[in-house]
Chain A
């Protein structure tokens, strides 16, 4: 059984058809890429899979269950984690708090524990602390543990966001332009981090990326979206030499 199966996904924003008849199937452990020019509908596709936008039509089957119409937090609890193009960190919270908050759905101490600080709560919070620290170490941001995220270097913030998504212990990780706005050095770091996650955690990964080198490096199969439709799908080599992709990306090539 495929892990995630998206069938004929279509969404309209008013009169604008942002995504049309989008299909994808994920086998466990697969790493796929999604590329396309600005406004092609990549982020919108992520938003539909994670429940932020409800598709106008189509199905999203995760582990055999149709998740269309479910709340984002329920979808996330099932094991679909994501990062955002613009990060969406919580500006007053520390790095540690970010990671622990992603474990929200696993809280067992309830309101009584929250109000009265029961031993059960202390036990679970300590457990969370340890698990969170593990993720901070994994992404090499443990020395920022108790700092508020605002003001941390950009690359660090990106990695904190990644650690936060991993703390959900997802089955599939959706990464929306994880290297956006990074300098070359930070970018190489990030590629290494993603590779590490892929190898060590054997995670299924869905990657949106503008930088060709990053997608080509990491992904087994790449889809290209243009005006909400898939115009090409294949291995990095096939995509690199695809006429329509080159056409859609004309001028973008400079960035590579």
Chain B
């Protein structure tokens, strides 16, 4: 122990001489030893600081209010405020988070080691997730805008992961996700409005509205299953024969579902469907997102799930190695559809309003961009892609439709440099993320 410490110190001394940027080195050394738990603690502290003294600090730095999104949106709206925003971010987020994370590293490492050794992995994950949620909750408590943004990010993560199952893990190209999402959204909406709302079309509520939030999970699951059944309309014709039919059939599917919804007057036709109770609060969506990530992570790591990667890489080879290729494709595709449906159901109950136009080509490009930006065949990539693109969309919002020129160009650049996306084909075990770092 002593010897290695000394060795490290010697090494540091040598490296310092050569590089000469001592504070940066020092900080890098220190931060490398902070476990995930420590970073969460740091982030939570920063958000607590912001929620208690954020506004006066922002005013002191010459800002009108707390910057909603780290000042990112000033880039197009008021560039003059950028320096103030940078100072704000440093003082409120970065410095406090760093101080807490680094100074508590001893304790958090011990705690992480304890949790790793003594607790089952799911419990360990739940504790970390709870801490992450607490941080995001405090961060979101400043403005409704942040809550809405977080809600959309969570839903996007679910959609992106689900599409990655098909486009990445299965290696097919599917365009059906807006269709799936709308089936889930409408199915769940019809159920909640029918059961729990006094509605002009669907009549008085059947069950007591008090029960609503408790039945809502069941409704989402049912909506997910209905979406899976709908997905059979794509799966059966596409997987019957070998070949690239999925792309075209799934695109047709999205358009057919959309025009079907536009022509069903009972659910509002093109005007849309409203009156959904807003059951999808931030914690509710967060829990569903964690469940989605967890099941997809588990699935893609199991031999049963990996079979779809084998089918992708060589179908004949997979078939000859006892893998039921059709069943494998079906399972993966319907599983993906299920989560897209649940995401749709959540989406409807965030907004309290949906219309068919939401689930069109624009939505499709958005999700595809998230998948391909983040990286095929990677859970982490999809999470990063969804967060990254959602931030980018917010950042470029002032450009209006022009952003749909910027984003494709960006996507093309990524595709040229890294054809499978930024974090493709990388698997990281949660155990490795949560482990102590000393």
A116 and B310 contact, CB distance less than 8 A:
no
Interface stretch among A15-23, A97-105, A212-220? A97-105
Count contacts on A: residues with CB < 8 A to the other chain: 39
A73 and B317 alpha carbons, distance in the complex (Å): 10
Chain A residue, CB-CB nearest to B323: A104
Question: Which residues from B are CB-within-8-Å of A116?
Answer: 294-295, 298
Chain A residue, CB-CB nearest to B331: A111
Interface residue B337 (Cβ < 8 Å from any Cβ of A):
no
Interface residue A158 (Cβ < 8 Å from any Cβ of B):
no
Question: Which residues from A are CB-within-8-Å of B321?
Answer: 73, 76, 81, 101-102, 104, 164-165, 168
Interface residue B387 (Cβ < 8 Å from any Cβ of A):
no
Give residues of chain B (234-284) contacting chain A, Cβ–Cβ below 8 Å. Answer: none
Give residues of chain B (290-329) contacting chain A, Cβ–Cβ below 8 Å. Answer: 294-295, 298-299, 302-307, 309-310, 312-314, 316-325
B306 and A93 contact, CB distance less than 8 A:
yes
Give residues of chain A (90-133) contacting chain B, Cβ–Cβ below 8 Å. Answer: 90-93, 97, 100-105, 107, 109-111, 113-117, 121, 125, 128
Residue from A81, A110, A114, A165 in contact with B298 in the complex, judged by beta carbons closer than 8 Å = A114
Interface residue A50 (Cβ < 8 Å from any Cβ of B):
yes
Residues of B within 8 A of A (CB): 122, 294-295, 298-299, 302-307, 309-310, 312-314, 316-325, 331, 335, 377, 425
Residue from B295, B310, B314, B319 in contact with A115 in the complex, judged by beta carbons closer than 8 Å = B295
Question: Which residues from A are CB-within-8-Å of B298?
Answer: 114-117
CB within 8 Å for A52 and B320 given contacts A101-B306, A114-B302, A115-B298: yes
B303 and A104 contact, CB distance less than 8 A:
yes
Question: Which residues from A are CB-within-8-Å of B294?
Answer: 116
B310 and A88 contact, CB distance less than 8 A:
no
A15 and B299 alpha carbons, distance in the complex (Å): 46
A73 and B322 contact, CB distance less than 8 A:
yes
A92 and B322 contact, CB distance less than 8 A:
no
B322 and A104 contact, CB distance less than 8 A:
yes
Tell me how far the C-beta of A222 lies from the nearest C-beta in chain B, rounded to whole angstroms: 24
B320 and A101 contact, CB distance less than 8 A:
no
Interface residue A210 (Cβ < 8 Å from any Cβ of B):
no
Residue from A72, A114, A121 whose CB has the most chain B CB atoms within 10 Å: A114
A164 and B309 alpha carbons, distance in the complex (Å): 16
Interface residue A159 (Cβ < 8 Å from any Cβ of B):
no
Q: B-facing mask of A23-54, CB < 8 A → 1, else 0?
A: 00000000000000000000000000010100
Residue from A73, A81, A92 in contact with B313 in the complex, judged by beta carbons closer than 8 Å = A92
* Pairs A-B, 6 closest by C-beta atoms: A88-B317, A90-B313, A105-B322, A72-B319, A114-B302, A114-B304
A103 and B314 alpha carbons, distance in the complex (Å): 16
Interface residue A82 (Cβ < 8 Å from any Cβ of B):
yes
B302 and A73 contact, CB distance less than 8 A:
no
A90 and B317 contact, CB distance less than 8 A:
yes
Chain B residue, CB-CB nearest to A129: B303
Interface residue A249 (Cβ < 8 Å from any Cβ of B):
no
Question: Which residues from B are CB-within-8-Å of A227?
Answer: none
B322 and A76 contact, CB distance less than 8 A:
yes
Residues of A within 8 A of B (CB): 50, 52, 71-73, 76-77, 81-82, 84, 87-93, 97, 100-105, 107, 109-111, 113-117, 121, 125, 128, 164-165, 168
Residue from B298, B312, B313, B322 whose CB has the most chain A CB atoms within 10 Å: B322
Chain B residue, CB-CB nearest to A118: B298
Question: Which residues from B are CB-within-8-Å of A50?
Answer: 320
A173 and B316 alpha carbons, distance in the complex (Å): 17
Tell me how far the C-beta of B73 lies from the nearest C-beta in chain A, rounded to whole angstroms: 39
Question: Which residues from B are CB-within-8-Å of A164?
Answer: 321
A101 and B226 alpha carbons, distance in the complex (Å): 31
CB within 8 Å for A115 and B322 given contacts A91-B313, A93-B309: no
Tell me how far the C-beta of A180 lies from the nearest C-beta in chain B, rounded to whole angstroms: 16
A107 and B305 alpha carbons, distance in the complex (Å): 11
Question: Which residues from B are CB-within-8-Å of A73?
Answer: 318-325
18 residue pairs A–B, Cβ–Cβ below 8 Å: A50-B320, A52-B316, A73-B319, A73-B325, A76-B320, A76-B322, A90-B310, A101-B306, A101-B307, A101-B323, A104-B303, A104-B321, A104-B322, A104-B324, A113-B304, A117-B298, A164-B321, A165-B321
Residue from A71, A91, A102, A113 whose CB has the most chain B CB atoms within 10 Å: A102
Tell me how far the C-beta of B292 lies from the nearest C-beta in chain A, rounded to whole angstroms: 11
Question: Which residues from A are CB-within-8-Å of B299?
Answer: 114-115
Chain A residue, CB-CB nearest to B420: A92
Tell me how far the C-beta of B417 lies from the nearest C-beta in chain A, rounded to whole angstroms: 19
A121 and B302 contact, CB distance less than 8 A:
yes
B303 and A101 contact, CB distance less than 8 A:
yes
Residue from B294, B299, B310 whose CB has the most chain A CB atoms within 10 Å: B310
A72 and B302 contact, CB distance less than 8 A:
no
A218 and B331 alpha carbons, distance in the complex (Å): 43
Residue from A89, A92, A104, A105 in contact with B377 in the complex, judged by beta carbons closer than 8 Å = A92
B320 and A90 contact, CB distance less than 8 A:
no
A115 and B292 alpha carbons, distance in the complex (Å): 10
A164 and B303 alpha carbons, distance in the complex (Å): 14
Question: Which residues from A are CB-within-8-Å of B325?
Answer: 73
A77 and B321 alpha carbons, distance in the complex (Å): 8
Tell me how far the C-beta of A122 lies from the nearest C-beta in chain B, rounded to whole angstroms: 10
CB within 8 Å for A113 and B314 given contacts A73-B322, A164-B321: no
A76 and B355 alpha carbons, distance in the complex (Å): 49
Question: Which residues from B are CB-within-8-Å of A93?
Answer: 306, 309-310, 313
Given contacts A72-B319, A107-B303, A110-B304, 16 further A-B contacts (CB under 8 A): A72-B320, A73-B321, A76-B319, A90-B313, A90-B318, A91-B313, A92-B377, A92-B425, A93-B309, A102-B321, A103-B322, A104-B324, A105-B323, A105-B324, A113-B304, A116-B294
A97 and B305 alpha carbons, distance in the complex (Å): 11
B309 and A168 contact, CB distance less than 8 A:
no
